[in-house]
Amino acid sequence: MPRVIYAFALSFLTGVLLLTTFIGSSQAKDWEIYRLGGRDYVSDENVAKFYRFHGFTKEEKDRLFSHPALVMTWTIGSQAIYVNETKFNLSFPVIESGGRALLSTVDLAKLVDPVLRPSQIKKFISFNTIVIDAGHGGHDSGAKGIQGHEKDYALDTANRLKKALEAKGFKTVMTRSNDTFLTLGQRVDIANRTRNAIFVSLHYNASGSRTAQGIETYALAPQGTRSTNGGNPWNSLLSGNERDAENIALATAVHAHIINELSPIDRGIKRARFNVLRGINKPAILFEGGFITNPTESKLVHDPAHRQKIADSICNAVVNFKNAISSKR
Ligand SMILES: [Zn+2]
pLDDT digits (tens, 9 = 90+) for 129-148: 999 999 999 999 999 999 99
pLDDT in tens, 97-134: 999 999 999 899 888 988 888 767 766 678 999 999 99
**Domain CATH for 31:** 3.30.457.10
Least confident of 77-81, 166-170, 240-244, 317-321: 240-244
Residue 224 predicted with pLDDT over 70 = no
Beta bridge partners of 217: 269, 287
Confidence of residue 8 (pLDDT cuts 50, 70, 90): very low
6 part of a folded domain:
no
**207 shares a domain with 99:** no
Cα 79 from Cα 100, distance rounded (Å)? 16
Boundary-marking domain end, from 120, 142, 177: 120
Exposed e or buried b per residue across 32-54, where buried means at least 16 C-beta atoms within 10 angstroms of its C-beta: eebeeeeeebbbbebbbebbebe
**116 shares a domain with 168:** no
Cα 47 from Cα 26, distance rounded (Å)? 12
274 part of a folded domain:
yes
Cα 266 from Cα 142, distance rounded (Å)? 22
**312 shares a domain with 223:** yes
User: How distant, in Å, are the alpha carbons of 32, 84, 119, 209, 270 from that of 115?
Assistant: 21, 11, 9, 32, 13
Looking at residue 275, its pLDDT comes to 78
315 part of a folded domain:
yes
104 part of a folded domain:
yes
Distance 213 CA to ligand 1 centre (A): 15
Q: When comparing pLDDT for 238 and 3, which is higher?
A: 238
**162 shares a domain with 68:** no
**133 shares a domain with 53:** no
Q: What is the mean pLDDT of residues 75-90?
A: 91
Looking at residue 325, its pLDDT comes to 75
Cα 249 from Cα 270, distance rounded (Å)? 12
Close Cβ partners of 267 (under 8 Å, ≥ 6 residues apart): 87, 214, 215, 216, 288
**286 shares a domain with 206:** yes
Distance 239 CA to ligand 1 centre (A): 23
Least confident of 126-135, 137-146, 170-179, 250-259: 250-259
Distance 149 CA to ligand 1 centre (A): 10
Distance 134 CA to ligand 1 centre (A): 9
What is the domain extent for residue 16?
Answer: 12-120
**269 shares a domain with 153:** yes
Helices (H), 128-193: 150-167, 184-193
Looking at residue 254, its pLDDT comes to 94
Phi-psi map region of 134: left, alpha, beta (phi>0 left; psi -120 to 50 alpha): beta
Distance 50 CA to ligand 1 centre (A): 39
Strands, sheet with 95-97, edge to edge from the N-terminal-most edge strand? 34-36, 39-43, 100-104, 95-97
Cα 299 from Cα 292, distance rounded (Å)? 8
Q: What is the mean pLDDT of residues 174-183?
A: 97
Looking at residue 68, its pLDDT comes to 85
Percent of the chain with pLDDT strictly greater than 70: 84
pLDDT in tens, 264-301: 999 999 988 887 888 888 899 999 999 999 999 999 99
* 312: three-class secondary structure by DSSP: helix
Residue 240 predicted with pLDDT over 50 = yes
29 part of a folded domain:
yes
**pTM for this structure?**
0.81
Main-chain phi, psi angles of 281, to 5 degrees: -95, 15
- Over its C-alpha atoms, the chain yields an Rg (Å, rounded) of 19
Q: Which of 313, 311, 285, 271 is nearest to 153 (CA)?
A: 311
Distance 3 CA to ligand 1 centre (A): 30
Looking at residue 9, its pLDDT comes to 28
Cα 329 from Cα 317, distance rounded (Å)? 21
Looking at residue 109, its pLDDT comes to 85
Distance 243 CA to ligand 1 centre (A): 22
Residue 28 predicted with pLDDT over 70 = no
Looking at residue 215, its pLDDT comes to 95
Distance 204 CA to ligand 1 centre (A): 6
Distance 202 CA to ligand 1 centre (A): 8
Distance 170 CA to ligand 1 centre (A): 25
Mean pLDDT of the chain: 85
Distance 190 CA to ligand 1 centre (A): 18
**Domain CATH for 191:** 3.40.630.40
1 part of a folded domain:
no
**165 shares a domain with 93:** no
314 part of a folded domain:
yes
Residue 12 predicted with pLDDT over 70 = no
Distance 136 CA to ligand 1 centre (A): 6
Distance 277 CA to ligand 1 centre (A): 13
Looking at residue 7, its pLDDT comes to 24
**133 shares a domain with 116:** no
**185 shares a domain with 47:** no
Boundary-marking domain end, from 120, 151, 184: 120
Total number of domains constituting the chain:
2
Distance 235 CA to ligand 1 centre (A): 21
Looking at residue 230, its pLDDT comes to 60
Cα 297 from Cα 146, distance rounded (Å)? 10
**220 shares a domain with 138:** yes
Boundary-marking domain end, from 120, 142, 174: 120
Distance 205 CA to ligand 1 centre (A): 6
231 part of a folded domain:
yes
Looking at residue 328, its pLDDT comes to 47
**152 shares a domain with 78:** no
Confidence of residue 40 (pLDDT cuts 50, 70, 90): very high
